[in-house]
């Protein structure tokens, strides 16, 4: 670990932890939305949009702090990239939930639930990892597991697309469903980007 002669602004750790905590809430709301009826989905979608707004505020707080801070706890660009990647996770999940409601998709294939379960687990791991950035300890298992989950998400995604093209004859419904499925895959990719950024930071700081 490098020694520093100037004090660091450690509020970034709390801000990143807050941002990651919103991801857990968002992923769980998305799972609830999937299993709800139409009215329930609308209500849960409003909650999901609110959480996305809170996540945006967390991201803006990090960016403002970056502009106000001379000495950051680790590389300034890495903080920016990490905050942006966390924000992307929430944006993609919120977009998927919104599309389910806007497109009035009644029944979705079971593998869509499998996609969301991967996101829930990725969110939990990410929220658990952020506080450990203070000490840069015990983080390797986090990024290895998130990378494994992203590989799992890729397999689910491929099987789901094959199932959709094989079983769905309505082209409009197929296009709508595919857009939802792609946003969920984007969210899994975004969680992996967060993990990769954390790995980069840990390697630089070791």
- Which CATH number goes with the domain that contains 78? 1.20.58.220
Q: What is the rounded average pLDDT of the residues 132-152?
A: 94
Residue 67, token pair as written in the block? 């502009």
**pTM reported for the whole predicted model:** 0.92
Q: What is the rounded average pLDDT of the residues 67-86?
A: 88
pLDDT above 90 as % of the chain: 82
Q: Is residue 56, in this structure, part of any structural domain at all? A: yes
Residue 104 is predicted with a pLDDT of 95
Q: Is residue 55, in this structure, part of any structural domain at all? A: yes
Q: How confident is the model at residue 9 (pLDDT cuts 50, 70, 90)?
A: low
Q: Give the number of other Cβ atoms within 10 Å of residue 10's Cβ.
A: 11
DSSP 131: G
The number of CA neighbours under 13 Å toward the Cβ of 163 is: 13
Q: Is residue 2, in this structure, part of any structural domain at all? A: no
- The Cα-based distances of 94 to 48, 49, 98, 117 in angstroms read 6, 6, 6, 15
DSSP 10: T
Q: Is residue 3, in this structure, part of any structural domain at all? A: no
Quick check: 119 and 24 in contact, CB under 8 A?
no
Quick check: 17 and 123 in contact, CB under 8 A?
no
Q: What is the mean pLDDT of the chain?
A: 92
Q: How confident is the model at residue 136 (pLDDT cuts 50, 70, 90)?
A: confident
Structural domain that includes position 78: 11-205
Sign of CA dihedral 198, 32, 112, 183: negative
Residue 137 is predicted with a pLDDT of 85
Q: Is residue 5, in this structure, part of any structural domain at all? A: no
Q: Is residue 16, in this structure, part of any structural domain at all? A: yes
Q: pLDDT tens for residues 106-130?
A: 889 999 999 999 999 999 999 999 9
Residue 24 is predicted with a pLDDT of 98
Residue 32, token pair as written in the block? 């609830």
Residue 8 is predicted with a pLDDT of 54
Q: How far apart are CA 120 and CA 162, in angstroms?
A: 24
Spatial neighbors of 167 by CB under 8 A, at least 6 apart, are: none
4: left (phi over 0), alpha (psi -120 to 50) or beta: beta
Q: Domain tally for the chain?
A: 1
């Amino acid at each position: 670990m490098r020694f520093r002669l100037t004090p660091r602004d450690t509020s970034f750790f709390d801000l990143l932890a807050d941002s990651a905590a919103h991801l857990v809430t968002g992923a769980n709301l998305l799972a609830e939305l999937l299993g709800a009826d139409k009215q329930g989905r609308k209500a849960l979608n409003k909650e999901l949009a609110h959480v996305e707004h809170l996540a945006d505020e967390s991201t803006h707080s990090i960016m403002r702090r970056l502009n106000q801070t001379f000495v950051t706890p680790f590389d300034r660009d890495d903080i920016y990239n990490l905050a942006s990647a966390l924000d992307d996770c929430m944006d993609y999940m919120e977009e998927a939930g919104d599309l389910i409601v806007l497109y009035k998709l009644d029944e979705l294939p079971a593998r869509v639930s499998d996609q969301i379960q991967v996101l829930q687990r990725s969110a939990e791991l990410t929220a658990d990892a952020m506080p450990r950035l203070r000490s840069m300890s015990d983080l390797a298992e986090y990024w290895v597991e998130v990378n494994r989950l992203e590989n799992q998400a890729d397999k689910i995604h491929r099987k789901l697309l094959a199932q959709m093209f094989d079983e769905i004859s309505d082209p409009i419904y197929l296009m709508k469903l595919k857009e939802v499925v792609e946003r969920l895959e984007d969210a899994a990719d975004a969680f992996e980007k967060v993990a990769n950024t954390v790995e980069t930071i840990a390697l630089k700081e070791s």
